[in-house]
Structure 1
Amino acid sequence: MWLPDETFKSVIQHTPLISIDLIVRNEQGEVLLGKRVNAPAKGYWFVPGGRVRKNETLDDAFVRLVREELGIESGITRADAKFLGVFEHFYDDCVFSGDVSTHYIVLGYEITLKYQHIINLREQHEIFEYLKSNVADSTLEIHYFTRLYLE
């Protein structure tokens, strides 16, 4: 269940958010990135992922995010992923405005897809692309926090 905007803005203003980032690789080792359409990190290339909802287990959140962000209905669970660690992301803005900062506690998980999927863009990304070269050589505007996963 999503919160009403004003309630959620208050949550963002007063607490950190818990999220899962999916570092998705294909069999060639390329990493899936999406160009974000919403703040924070609007306009940057970022890995797919999303927030953990209240009363949602991490296992359930992982499966939901794989379904919602990647369009994969079943078969990939948190147990299939490599846990990369806990990360902190701080942003000067939030989805609603630039007057409220956002603080995420992020659980990073890496998965490898053995076959091509049609990626579900949802409302967070305008396009997805596999990064075909070293992050340092990329011409894409890759967000700093995503660069930390890739370097």
Structure 2
Amino acid sequence: MWLNNELFRSVIASTPLISIDLVVQNSLGECLLGQRLNRPAKGDWFVPGGRILKNETLDKAFSRLTLDELGKTCQRYEARLLGVYEHFYADSVFAAADEGPDTHYVVLAYQIVLAKGDVLQPPRTQHNAYRWWSLDDMQTCEHVHSNTRAYLDALQ
């Protein structure tokens, strides 16, 4: 169920959002990151992912999000749960910091390991660029969001 902007703004201001983050690794162990177009974390490099919708099962959400974010449907049973994380942002999709509601996410992070030769066609609706990152580069680059770097401990 999609919410109109006024109702969604109220939800963001009132309650945590529940989402799935997709920590996608290629056969070389590199992670796929996209440079975010929208708040929160606009301009930062971040793993793909998105919100779970009302009355959507985890399996359905995972399939929808992998198709929407990666251009390829993956099943949740093919992935590994890395853990549950909390993300807090001073801004939201609606406003810059100190002007609108802040955002709180409860995130289920899943690792997806692609087979050699698997190709993704991620759309550019949430990210304006995509890049494969080594784990070392992710750890040291200040433009990789700290919430994305938090997943590295679970990968090693």
CA distance in 1, matches of 2:81, 2:120: 24
Q: Alignment RMSD, CA only?
A: 1.4
Instruction: Specify the alignment match of 2:139 in structure 1.
Output: 136
Greater shift in the superposed pair: 91-100 or 41-50: 91-100
Give the match for residue 111 of structure 1: 112
Shift of 1:49: 0.3
Aligned mates of 1:132, 1:90 — CA distance in 2: 25
Please state how far the C-alpha of 1:137 moved relative to its aligned partner.
4.2
Correspondence for 1:86: 84
Match of 1:102 in 2: 103
CA contact (8 A) 2:22 2:110 kept: yes
**Among 142, 147, 150, which residue is 2:149 paired with?**
147
Count of residue pairs the alignment pairs up: 148
State the secondary structure of the residue aligned to 2:149.
helix
The residue identity in structure 1 corresponding to 2:103 is T
Q: For residues 121 and 144 of structure 1, what CA distance do their matches in structure 2 show?
A: 23
TM-score (norm 1): 0.92
- Partners in 1 of 2:58 and 2:41 — Cα distance? 24
Letter in 2 for 1:125: H
Q: Distance in 1 between matches of 2:64 and 2:105?
A: 19
Q: Matched residue of 2:150: which SS? A: helix
Contact 1:16–1:104 under 8 Å retained in 2: yes
- Separation in 1, partners of 2:48, 2:139: 20
* Alignment map for 1:1-151 (pairs within 5 Å): 1-73=1-73, 76-98=74-96, 99-114=100-115, 115-132=117-134, 134=136, 135-138=138-141, 141-151=143-153
Q: In structure 2, list runs of 5 or more residues that go unmatched.
A: none
CA distance in structure 2 between the aligned counterparts of 1:65 and 1:127, rounded to whole angstroms = 18
Q: Which runs of 5+ in 1 are unaligned?
A: none
Residue 30 of structure 1: CA displacement? 0.3
- Residue aligned with 1:93, SS: coil
Spell out structure 1 runs of 4+ moving beyond 6 A: none
State the distance in 2 between where 1:133 and 1:22 align.
15
Percent identity, please.
52
